[in-house]
């Protein structure tokens, strides 16, 4: 029987059985519209509000500051556009980094079309944003800073709490209020999400990254943050996100986030030991394999590597033949035909970026899974290098 090893938890995760169990009654039995008055509807209302409290407990904020959305992309869009258009009177400048998720970067490009100016901060070779760059970038016209909590491709963890301090200090100095958003999608289940510890005004989460269902996002908006809703309609979510609530999805997301928070320490340790075993094994067994991202300040489950002379999609296809699911930042795995903007921003040469592979572990993975990958990976790279015209040129 073909072995199946899932090592793409940064792409998505299976719904946790307990989250699924919590969701099921809300499809066909407790299906009421939370906005209606009768008991059936009020049961759904209660479930949504209990979910909001559960999420707020983990984020350390009042429940009223939580907005449920359709996913991480919507939360990022709502955060950036919501603040930008609401705070337009006080300024038109936004600061972000070159390695954000497309949901943030493309929203910034959209805002540029409406007259906003965006500074895309560079990162160092490990993928870290420099705190002093954030400070320097803030001017009198800055209204919003958006820096991710951890990068989805290379796993580097950004110094958000430090960035929050300089944003606060600098905004006092320039005499305008600057709000801080973080896309924390990759941090859930691995990092502390307390919004006061982080010092953020807005925070994005995506349910399917932490063993919740797809199609559910969370946006935290600190009270007092200017926010223009991007979706018009009914008065749902305290007038900040129109549309009948995805009751089952919200219940599943809250249940999954609670489980992820409870198991954060133990899952983190387990993933980290698997991650380190995989990285060490690959570097021992395969020449010219380079770890990308920060060596230590990285998500416990992220092993991103670049292999010289070979192309990422070819590696992924061979891994798939052997039952292993992983990702790549290669151009050939995207529709854009460009290699990963994250690897480019870190100064990795294009030909090396094309040979990137990302393995992301979950609590269900075992040492046997990692050892299996280590047993097949050298052969895959060897086979592709034997075909590649770059191998001889590079080795000679």
Partner 1 sequence: MYSDLVMEHFSNPRNVGAMPDADGVGSAGNPVCGDVMKLFIRVRDGRIEDARFQTFGCGAAIATSSMVTEMVKGKTLDEALDISNKAVAEALGGLPPTKMHCSNLAAEALHRAIEDYRSRAPA
Indicate which residues carry an active-site annotation: 332
Closest to 155 measured CA to CA, from 195, 117, 128: 128
Number of residues that bind partner 1 (CB under 8 A): 24
For residue 288, the minimal CB distance to partner 1 (Å) is: 13
Query: Is residue 396 a contact residue for partner 1 (CB under 8 A)?
Result: no
Cβ nearer to partner 1, comparing 142 with 304:
304
Cβ nearer to partner 1, comparing 190 with 310:
310
According to CB under 8 A, which one of 63, 98, 291, 390 is a site residue for partner 1?
390
Query: Is residue 392 a contact residue for partner 1 (CB under 8 A)?
Result: yes
Query: Is residue 388 a contact residue for partner 1 (CB under 8 A)?
Result: yes
Residue 224 token pair: 């007092």
Residue 84 token pair: 């930008």
Closest to 302 measured CA to CA, from 325, 279, 281: 279
**How far is Cα 279 from Cα 287, in angstroms, rounded to an integer?**
12
Segment contacting partner 1 by CB under 8 A, of 88-96, 124-132, 359-367, 381-389: 381-389
For residue 45, the minimal CB distance to partner 1 (Å) is: 43
For residue 304, the minimal CB distance to partner 1 (Å) is: 17
For residue 307, the minimal CB distance to partner 1 (Å) is: 11
Query: Is residue 173 a contact residue for partner 1 (CB under 8 A)?
Result: no
Q: Between residue 304 and residue 363, which ones bind partner 1 under the rule CB under 8 A?
A: 309-314, 317, 321, 330-333, 335, 337, 339, 350-351, 354
For residue 111, the minimal CB distance to partner 1 (Å) is: 28
**How far is Cα 164 from Cα 360, in angstroms, rounded to an integer?**
28
Query: Is residue 386 a contact residue for partner 1 (CB under 8 A)?
Result: yes
Cβ nearer to partner 1, comparing 90 with 388:
388
Cβ nearer to partner 1, comparing 75 with 327:
327
For residue 311, the minimal CB distance to partner 1 (Å) is: 5
Cβ nearer to partner 1, comparing 128 with 319:
319
For residue 312, the minimal CB distance to partner 1 (Å) is: 8
Cβ nearer to partner 1, comparing 139 with 391:
391
Segment contacting partner 1 by CB under 8 A, of 32-40, 146-154, 275-283, 385-393: 385-393
Q: 3-class secondary structure for the chain?
A: CCCCEECECCCCCCCCHHHHHHHCHHHHCCCCCCCCCCHHHHHHHHHHHHHHHHHHHHHCCCHHHEEEECCHHHHHHHHHHHHHHHCCCCCCEEEEECCCCHHHHHHHHHHHHCCCEEEEECCCCCCCCCHHHHHHHCCCCEEEEECCCECCCCCEECCHHHHHHHHHHHHHHHCCCCEEEEECCCCCCCCCCCHHHHCCCEEEEEHHHCCCCCCCEEEEECCCCCCCCCCCCCCHHHHCCCCCCCHHHHHHHHHHHHHHHHCHHHHHHHHHHHHHHHHHHHHHHCCCEEECCCCCCECCCEEEEEECCCCHHHHHHHHHHCCEECECCCHHHCCCCCCCHHHHHCCCCHHHHCCEEEEECCCCCCHHHHHHHHHHHHHHHHHHHHHCHHHHHHHC
Cβ nearer to partner 1, comparing 121 with 353:
353
**How far is Cα 240 from Cα 78, in angstroms, rounded to an integer?**
9
Residues that bind partner 1 (CB under 8 A): 309-314, 317, 321, 330-333, 335, 337, 339, 350-351, 354, 386-390, 392
């Amino acid at each position: 029987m073909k072995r199946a090893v899932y090592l793409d938890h940064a792409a998505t995760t299976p719904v946790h059985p307990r989250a699924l169990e919590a969701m099921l009654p809300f499809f066909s039995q407790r299906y009421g519209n939370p906005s209606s008055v009768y008991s059936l509807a009020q049961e759904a209302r209660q479930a949504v509000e209990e979910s909001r409290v559960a999420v707020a407990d983990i984020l350390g904020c009042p429940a009223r500051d939580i907005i449920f959305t359709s996913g991480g992309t919507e939360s990022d869009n709502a955060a950036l556009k919501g603040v930008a258009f609401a705070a337009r009177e006080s300024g038109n400048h936004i600061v972000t980094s070159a390695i954000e998720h497309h949901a943030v970067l493309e929203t910034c490009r959209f805002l540029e079309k409406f007259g906003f100016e965006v500074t895309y901060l560079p990162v160092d070779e490990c993928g870290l944003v420099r705190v002093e760059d954030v400070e320097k970038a803030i001017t009198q016209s800055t209204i919003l800073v958006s820096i991710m909590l951890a990068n989805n491709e290379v796993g580097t963890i950004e110094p958000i709490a430090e960035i929050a301090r300089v944003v606060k200090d600098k905004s006092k100095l320039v005499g305008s209020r600057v709000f801080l958003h973080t896309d924390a999608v990759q941090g859930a289940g691995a990092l502390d999400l307390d919004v006061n510890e982080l010092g953020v005004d807005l925070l994005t989460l995506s349910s399917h990254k932490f063993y919740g269902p797809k199609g559910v996002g969370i946006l935290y908006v600190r009270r007092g943050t200017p926010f223009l809703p991007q979706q018009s309609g009914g008065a749902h979510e305290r007038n900040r996100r129109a549309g009948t609530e995805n009751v089952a999805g919200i219940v599943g997301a809250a249940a999954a986030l609670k489980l992820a928070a409870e198991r954060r320490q133990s899952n983190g340790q387990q993933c980290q030991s698997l991650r380190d075993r995989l990285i060490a094994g690959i570097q021992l067994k395969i020449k010219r394999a380079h770890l990308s991202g920060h060596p230590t300040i990285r998500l416990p489950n992220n092993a991103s590597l670049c292999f010289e002379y070979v192309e990422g999609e070819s590696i992924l296809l061979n891994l798939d033949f052997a039952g292993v699911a992983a990702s790549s930042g290669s151009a050939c795995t995207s529709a854009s035909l460009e290699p990963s903007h994250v690897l480019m921003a870190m100064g990795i040469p294009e030909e090396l970026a094309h040979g990137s592979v990302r393995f992301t572990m979950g609590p269900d993975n075992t040492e046997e899974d990692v050892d299996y990958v280590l047993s097949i990976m050298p052969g895959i790279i060897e086979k592709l290098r034997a075909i590649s015209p770059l191998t001889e040129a590079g080795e000679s």
